[in-house]
Amino acid sequence: MHWTLSDMILDLAHNSLEAGADLVDVTVEERQSLVRIEISDNGKGMDQRQRALALDPFYTEPGKHPGRKVGLGLPFLVQTVEQTGGRYELESEPGVGTRLVVEIDAGHVDTPPIGDLAQIAAMLMCFDGDYELRWRRRRTADTTAGVESGYEVERSQLREALGDLAYVSSRSLASQYLRACEDEIQPMEGEESWRK
């Protein structure tokens, strides 16, 4: 079972890569306790029937998992959203790509902790293959004053600076950089109670 929202983001963004996407956008925004997650890709997309099947925990795309016939990535997230009064939108078109938007109340008692976003950002940058991944973070710590902070990192920037991200030395630097970016975001009052 996925324990944190970060686990789910990692899983779903990886699904995009497995769907043949070479461009994946991941945005995680926080406004007080509302967390908005958007994952979009230019992968092979799904038609209406496949979209419905993707929400079925006992379905996986034929041939995707040799020896296994269930896929759980999207259902895990939908189940969490539904049990916490959140909402989600799934748009997809064959040959164009897929866009998933989720809004979830991090303060709800049944919402999993958000987890370590810097850690999964680094992991998302380090899958094998030639793809672009844009990772965007935004946080509005004080909505009345409109104080917003955030950062944006592209995989191509990290590769330009660090070369092959598979090597431990490069991965470590990428992780350190993303951690530093994440640490610069303005903290929110009372966030420790639900953040980790």
Partner 1 sequence: MAKMTLEELRKLRQTAQKTIRTRESAENDIHLTIGMGTSGIAAGAKDTLATLMSELEKHPELNVAVRQTGGLGLEHAEPTLEVRVPGMPVIIYGKVAPDVAQKIVQQHLINKELVDEHIYDRPASDIVDSGSAQ
Q: In whole angstroms, how far apart are CA 145 and each of 27, 87, 140, 148, 188?
A: 22, 26, 9, 9, 13
Q: Which residues contact 49 (CB under 8 A, 6 or more apart)?
A: none
Binding pattern to partner 1, positions 111-130, x when CB under 8 A? --------xx--x--xxx--
- Nearer to partner 1 by C-beta: 10 or 26? 10
Pick from 151, 179, 191, 195: which binds partner 1 (CB under 8 A)?
151
Identity (one letter) of the amino acid at 21? A
Please enumerate in sequence order all residues whose Cβ is within 8 A of that of 190, keeping only pairs 6 or more positions apart, or say none. Answer: none
Yes or no: say if 39 and 17 are a contact pair by the CB < 8 Å rule: no
List binders of partner 1 among 129-148 (CB under 8 A). 138, 148
* Chain center to CA of 39: 6
Residue 157 as a binder of partner 1 (CB under 8 A): the answer is yes
Among 68, 95, 110, 130, binds partner 1 (CB under 8 A): 68
Q: Measured over all CA atoms, what is the biggest interatomic distance in the chain, rounded to whole angstroms?
A: 54
Output the smallest distance, CB 136 to partner 1, in A: 9
In the three-class reduction of DSSP (H, G, I as helix; E, B as strand; rest coil), residue 23 is classed as strand
Residue 183 binds to partner 1 (criterion: CB under 8 A): no
Amino acid at residue number 56: D
- Mark 18-57 with x for binding to partner 1 (rule: CB under 8 A) and - for no binding: x---------------------------------------
Residues at the contact surface with partner 1, assessed by CB under 8 A: 1-2, 7, 10-11, 14, 18, 65-68, 71-73, 76, 119-120, 123, 126-128, 138, 148-154, 157, 160-164, 166-173, 175, 177, 181, 184
